[in-house]
Amino acid sequence: MILYEYPLNEGVRSLLRLEDVLDRFEHFRNGENTHDHGQAVALMFDLVDLFSRTDCRTELLGHLERQRKALTRYRDSPDVSREALEHMLLELYRCQEKVNAASMHPAQAIRDNDWLMAVRSRILLPGGAADYDMPSFWAWQNGPLEQRRADLQRWLSPFDPLASALRLVLRLLRESGKPIALHASDGSCQHSLGGQSYQMAQLRIDPSLRAVPEISANKYLLWIRFNDLDDRVRARACTRRIPFELTLCDL
């Protein structure tokens, strides 16, 4: 099944964008060739910009605190495992402590590194970080593999508490929903939200259907429209019956 995730507010949209760049950074950092780590450096600069938004730290702490308070209310519930609940509350508390203790300016060491700033200025240009334009960057990319990985880890390590908080918040958000089976008649489906506030919608679709969802939502209604992909990957309005699985998530 292909998973599509749709943020229902700008805060979650920002978190999902951060997670996407972080996932790609980790993929290329764990690679072995020169181009893998060149791409990892480019993505590192994207992460620095995204994590350095003034409200990112505050937003993550707000999500963690709201979830901690929500879970605390279940301490006296006989339907909830006390051991699992206390473990989750401890994980939330430790994550909050690490974010609070982290540097307020985690990007400062990178910005103070003249070589990294020079690399960044070249990467922003199409093809600007080629070996003949930036020989020192090419030399680094061809250096020892473990040294390159260690450098990438060291440069981005001040952001580790924020990255861990991001992972935890999105994990809890995804675990909060229950999937339901639906279908779109003639390629479209309207699902009532009943005025309840949600933060994210997840759709799972059989890839063999080659149907791509377009989602829009307001406080009362989630509207899903499907497009068909032809052999040239061009989209056109779908008029078929499309079965799918919908999960609405909220912390």
Q: 151 and 31 in contact (C-beta within 8 Å)? A: no
> Does residue 100 fall inside a structural domain?
yes
Domain of residue 128 covers 10-173
Residue 54: its pLDDT value, please? 62
Q: Does residue 134 share a domain with residue 32?
A: yes
Q: Does residue 197 share a domain with residue 96?
A: no
Entry pTM: 0.88
The CATH code of the domain that includes 95 is: 1.10.3900.10
Q: Does residue 184 share a domain with residue 151?
A: no
Residue 90: its pLDDT value, please? 92
Q: Does residue 139 share a domain with residue 86?
A: yes
* Domain termination site, one of 173, 190, 213: 173
Residue 200: its pLDDT value, please? 94
Residue 151: its pLDDT value, please? 96
Domains contained in the chain, number: 2
Write out 185-206 in H/E/C secondary structure.
ECCEEEEECCCCCCCEEEEEEC
pLDDT tens string for the chain (251 positions)? Answer: 999 999 998 889 999 999 999 999 999 999 988 899 999 999 999 999 888 876 788 889 998 998 888 888 888 888 888 888 899 999 999 999 999 988 888 889 999 999 999 999 998 888 777 888 899 999 999 999 999 999 999 999 999 999 999 999 999 999 988 999 999 888 889 898 887 889 999 999 999 988 899 999 888 899 999 998 776 667 788 888 999 999 999 87
Q: Does residue 194 share a domain with residue 121?
A: no
Report DSSP letters for 198-246, one per residue. Answer: -SEEEEEE-GGG-EEEEEEE-SSEEEEEEEEE-TT--EEE--S-EEEEE
> Does residue 2 fall inside a structural domain?
no
Interior/surface letters 163-193, b for 16+ CB within 10 angstroms, e for the rest: bbbbebbbebbeebbeeeeeebeebbbebeb
* pLDDT tens digits along 75-110: 888 888 888 889 999 999 999 999 998 888 888 999
Q: Does residue 147 share a domain with residue 47?
A: yes
Residue 233: its pLDDT value, please? 65
